[in-house]
Structure 1
Amino acid sequence: MNADLATHASRAPHAHHTSCAPGRVGVRSLTVEVGPTHARRATLDALDLDVAPGEFVCLLGPSGCGKSTLLGTIAGHVGVTRGEISVDGEPVNHPHPDRGLVFQQHTLFPWKQVIDNVAFGLKMKGVAAQERRRKAAELLELVGLGGFESHYPAQLSGGMQQRVEIARVLINRPRVLLMDEPFGALDAQTRRMMQRLLLDIWSKIRTTVLFVTHDIEEALFLGDRIVMLSKRPGRIIADIPVPLPRPRDDESTTDAAFIDIKRQCLALLREAA
């Protein structure tokens, strides 16, 4: 592992060139305890993580290791017991549209048309109706749903609902996009299509992405690096750079480096579990 960590360390200086770009995430000695006062249990323990602006980081680890908790703390929804989290040097202590969260199950309003679901964040900010609908229409184009503005969520497939969900988060121009197994409920074919779509969107907007998954292949296909957590309480046991060139396609998954890192991750997951 040391060689891999060294590789990553050697990449770190390049991040400074983009230090003016938004979306730098810093997690310092993060401990999160949950449960009633007399029976507190640590979900995350003294965790340190740095994510450079525009980086795509995938979080892997056994079930219940605290991956979703880590996203929740960065989003500002989960309280920190000890340690601190910052985005662009500002401490995180409450939710903010700058940190957009996408879950496995969509959270769309069933009674609102697709365009109004996407525009909702701008409505909350007081943006005028015409302007927010124009921006929502642009984002629907970006996620490949132009022409579906007046549909209702129930009229869409699962993959399409997730695209609306992503558009709804992106309309706030988040500096950090937090994705909690967003494609976990989709069939294999739709899932791969969504992965490609996400990479395409990311290549255009270059927001920082933290992506939780159980799927090693998904992490390898998407990420610049894979951060592996131990079983609960979650600690980082590996930080593996993914040297596969972009743009990636199905051929990437047959690359020797892909197969090598996959083997490494499988062994680490077995150890961790």
Structure 2
Amino acid sequence: MRGESGDMKTSLDTFFNPKSVAVVGASTTPGKLGYVAVENLIRLGYPGKIFPVNPKAKEIQGLKAYPNVKDIPEPVDVGLVLVPAEAVVGVVKDLAEKGVKHTVIIAGGFSEVDEKGAKMQQEIVEIGRKYGMRIIGPNTTGIVSIPGRFSTTFFKVDYNPGPAAYIAQTGNFASITFRWIVTRENFGISRIIGLGNKCDVDDADALEYLESDPETKVIAMYIEGLKDGRRFVEVARRVSKKKPILALKSGRTPAGSKAAMSHTASLAADDAILDAALKQAGVIRVNNYMDLVNYTKAFV
């Protein structure tokens, strides 16, 4: 689903600086995912247009709501999908037919769960390929873009700009780290990218985007497994010459590897092989979560 030009900056930039977003599964109930997602956009001062989509609501947090994404009378840059797993394929198809080229899928219940989920995920991949849509997820909290004042997460997000970017496969881990950094460690963030099951956008794509991102000076990563190890090393080797990359690898023990696999459909690479690959790529590997935070803080 990568663009023909191979220009990752152009291909992914809309995720971080969209002019409009459709929040499919927006809710009128405070505390629910679909409510918090809209609330975050408003709190951050997102300058684009927000289109809540909910067939049972006429208005959500002061914004006109639409029964279906196809009812939105204007172009949509990003589709934020907050519906349950069994409804996701239909929503992604609607977004694709609407002409949406960038989609973030929050729900779990896909290849990380069982064969039925893997089949649904493959359907999503095929829709993306057919329509030229880039997809983050499924099974993630998606992204936070502080410079773009944009977020897809259902964790509370406040505006706190800084030069550190963070990539994680597990969306919850990305969001928890974000909250810890901006509250306890008191340094700002440029981008948070929770990749989830990586049905399309993966670690190498994210690194390649951040390579030319002027808002990012240091990149921290929490790695559970690599979708394309060879490409990751190739990209990381190039990026690490421009910006430091710090990495914490989950699943260093057999039990940890099993947990990583079950959580995000990760293929946990042999630790010794991964360690050699990271060294070859110029990536600084850290041993624990606090080292990841402290090393990042040192480079900020």
TM-score range with shorter-chain normalisation? Answer: 0.3 to 0.5
TM-score by length of 2: 0.32
Structure number with greater CO (CA < 8 Å, separation at least 6) is: 1
